[in-house]
Structure 1
Amino acid sequence: MDLKLFFNPTEVDVDQSPTSFQSSIYVNRDKMPDHEGMDIALIGLTEYRGGDNSSELASAEAVRKQLYALKKGYGDYGIIDLGNFRNGPKIEDTYLRLKEVCAYLMEKNIIPVLFGGSHDLDLGQYYAYETAEKLISVLNIDNAMDFDGEHIASNHIGKIFKHSPNYLFGYCHLGYQSYLTDQKSIELLDKLSFESIRLGVVKENIKDIEPIVRDADMLSFDLSALQALYAPGASNAKVYGLTGEEACQLCWYAGQNEKMSSVGIYNYDAAKDSKDNKTAFVMSTMIWYFIEGYYHRKGDKNFKSNDYLMYEVHLGGEPETIRFYKSKLSERWWMEVPNPDSEGLFNRNRMIACNQSDYDLALKGEIPDRWMNFFNKV
């Protein structure tokens, strides 16, 4: 694929030291760099026709300016900034172009990291999995549930649910605010055996959220999930929400997730941002922390190796036992849902990320909710 056909070069150039983030990556300026062998591809988005604001190129470039000035993190980077994505004549064309590019990158084992644009652009991100021949799990972080609304950015999740062919295995909505959410939307997720976790639960102990992030293949993050104090430039931020630190922590978890294959951070409006570009800075540090998490991955894949401790808990009912696995390297936990009829597409999802608290619960003879939720789906 000739990627330069899909992108406009960036004009951002921050004069920084050799230790800056900018000096450690390949950037599409005068010429598109070679993407072979890269780990992560940064993609600036300028499409806002699906939302209710009119931001354009300035938003993606504002984030880029803040990101480039940060210091390089851990390890040797294999990162390319492809530039700003060229929109289609119609918004539906932008989705399809985004689908094509993201699918191509993921086939090359390059993680696309999308930033800017309205939240409905995660449709293109999701469509990219159509030819992957696997079921995926989507993590959506937003202060509201976008199942219906006047703009497509307010009903894009509903379109994901209805999309055919259907390759959506799991969906979790993280950080919703109850006073912004129709109770029927929560009931719909329960009926579909999907998860919804309100803001208060996330903030109570964010470490308990890590297994949920670890189970996702795709992350769609609406900046409106943050407090307006931290993200005045988010399209629909409220007084209450995640802090900047909590958003970065979630992005760190996403980076460490071995399954995570695409990330989108949406709904930044540079025209609404503070004079010191506070939102652009928060968004750039979220991207930075995802990259840091990626380069700190522990290689948690082969559960039959000696790198894992296996615990079998006898419940004395149905199921009779549940197996738990703990990594000696990362000290993270998983639990297995045995189902002889779930080979093929379901097979890769049979190991569920969990906490030690789920293991402790099983020792008391109780079945963890996430185990039962998965069992019901398959």
Structure 2
Amino acid sequence: MEFDFLKPVDVALMSYVSSLSSQELGSKIVFHTNDQVPELSKINLAIVGVLDNRGNANANLVNLTAIRKKLYAMFPGNWDASIADLGDILPGEAVEDTYFALKKVTSNLIKNKIIPIVIGGSQDLTYALYRAYDDLEQMVNVVAVDNKFDFGKENETVTANSYLSKIIIDQPNNLFNYSNIGYQTYYNSQEEIDLIQKLFFDAYRLGEISNNIALAEPVFRDADLVSIDMNSVQSSFSANMVAFEPNGFDGKEICALARYAGISDKVSSLGIFNQNSSTPESVIIAQMIWYFIEGYHYRSKEYPFGTRTNYIKYIVPLEGEELVFYKSDKTDRWWIEIPFISSDHNKLKRNTLLPCSYDEYLSACNQEIPERWWKAQRKNIV
């Protein structure tokens, strides 16, 4: 583990933790300090701070102390997950040095089946998180909770508003799918919206998700990396007055989305970015982390799929097509089968199950092909 890239947890914060009762979360966490390096073989979740926000020119200095204090003063649920706070990655001489350090630290954690919870810094750090999967030799599904798509102009330096272009263009290209949750149309050009459709990516407007938060659950169920932009949250809940946002998710909604991310068996890294140093904001971020950990505790262990004997199989005949659905008899959640297509361009190389909703099954019964299934098929053959 590259502990050389990590600054130990501050002595003053450790003094605060020592004042907490034995029931509070801070008393149940293992810390990377000047005197102690956590034994990672016993850890399930690891908090990593990043103090570099150079990708966001309007951001305040990153200060994670208030977030940690709020989180560690909370009471845990009936959890058995082991949690570590590994400290902070300091800004490198160049932002690329920060990317390198974050990639190395998180790649090591993911390889050891430890979920990094990365907090702080600008959202271009999502690129470094994505690159952490390079050595795992797998396709990556990225889900961004964001009010923008973060496409950049050609040859533009990577920033919090342009990192997605770098993910799509740079080699090795391990991206299978990108999904945006909560975009606001007036922040995205029509050309960008059209490009999302052309690339067969998924995007859900803020109003869609706010009206039915459960729409997001299958999206997170298929994610590897989840990146949350705090600009997607109303400023009245986030206390972000640097980039004031009158619209966005409210506190309850963003915590529900964080819990969906945690409960997904497939999610192996979480980043919460574009935050400011104001104390009130730390409350919602601390609660988001709490709900992610709560969700992790209730994972159903349905992924990866071993046997399908615990699923009820439904075959829906359509004109010229048969759609195969599976319903878990453990959680009542639904999947749709993406059949293997023999092609040099096939990215999956196997039949796979794609998370879906009961409503999508009902639509198929009404002879409507689910858009999620169609897009996955197109990505396999183009």
Name the structure 2 match of 1:6: 6
Aligned amino acid, residue 86 of structure 1: L
| Shift in Å, 1:237 | 4.3
Report the more deviating stretch, 348-357 or 20-29: 348-357
Give the Cα separation in 2 of the matches to 1:266 and 1:339.
Answer: 37
Could you tell me the TM-score, scaled by structure 2's length? Answer: 0.92
Give the Cα separation in 2 of the matches to 1:368 and 1:356.
Answer: 11
Number of residue pairs aligned between Structure 1 and Structure 2: 370
| Shift in Å, 1:132 | 1.1
Name the structure 2 match of 1:355: 357
- Whether contact under 8 Å (2:340, 2:351) holds in the other structure is no
Give the Cα separation in 1 of the matches to 2:351 and 2:117.
Answer: 23
Q: Select 2:268's aligned residue among 249, 261, 268.
A: 261
- Whether contact under 8 Å (1:224, 1:235) holds in the other structure is no
Secondary structure of the corresponding residue to residue 108 of structure 2: helix
| 1:312 equivalenced with 2:315 (yes/no) | yes
- Whether contact under 8 Å (2:50, 2:119) holds in the other structure is yes
Give the Cα separation in 2 of the matches to 1:345 and 1:324.
Answer: 21
Give the Cα separation in 2 of the matches to 1:279 and 1:230.
Answer: 7
The verdict on how the C-alpha distance between 1:357 and 1:175 changes in structure 2, with shifts beyond 3 A counting, is same
| Shift in Å, 1:359 | 0.8
| Shift in Å, 1:154 | 1.6
| 1:63 equivalenced with 2:70 (yes/no) | no
Secondary structure of the corresponding residue to residue 43 of structure 1: strand
- Whether contact under 8 Å (1:122, 1:264) holds in the other structure is yes
- Whether contact under 8 Å (2:59, 2:274) holds in the other structure is no
| 1:137 equivalenced with 2:141 (yes/no) | yes
RMSD: 1.9
The verdict on how the C-alpha distance between 1:298 and 1:140 changes in structure 2, with shifts beyond 3 A counting, is same
| 1:168 equivalenced with 2:175 (yes/no) | yes
- Whether contact under 8 Å (2:233, 2:254) holds in the other structure is yes
Give the Cα separation in 2 of the matches to 1:228 and 1:349.
Answer: 43
5 Å-filtered alignment, 1:46-57, equals 46-53=51-58, 55-57=60-62
Give the Cα separation in 2 of the matches to 1:20 and 1:198.
Answer: 37
Name the structure 1 match of 2:369: 367
Name the structure 1 match of 2:109: 105
- Whether contact under 8 Å (2:6, 2:87) holds in the other structure is no
5 Å-filtered alignment, 1:289-300, equals 289-300=291-302
| 1:33 equivalenced with 2:34 (yes/no) | no
The verdict on how the C-alpha distance between 1:193 and 1:41 changes in structure 2, with shifts beyond 3 A counting, is same
- Whether contact under 8 Å (1:67, 1:285) holds in the other structure is yes
Give the Cα separation in 2 of the matches to 1:348 and 1:260.
Answer: 21
The verdict on how the C-alpha distance between 1:330 and 1:233 changes in structure 2, with shifts beyond 3 A counting, is same
| Shift in Å, 1:89 | 1.2
Name the structure 1 match of 2:119: 115
Report the more deviating stretch, 67-76 or 280-289: 67-76
Seq. identity, %:
35
Name the structure 2 match of 1:229: 236
| Shift in Å, 1:303 | 6.0
5 Å-filtered alignment, 1:194-205, equals 194-205=201-212
Deviating 4+ runs (over 6 angstroms): none
Q: Select 1:185's aligned residue among 183, 189, 192.
A: 192
Q: For residues 342-366 of structure 1, give each alpha carbon's deviation from its aligned partner in whole angstroms, at most 9, with x where no partner exists.
A: 7985147821111101111111122
The verdict on how the C-alpha distance between 1:352 and 1:239 changes in structure 2, with shifts beyond 3 A counting, is same
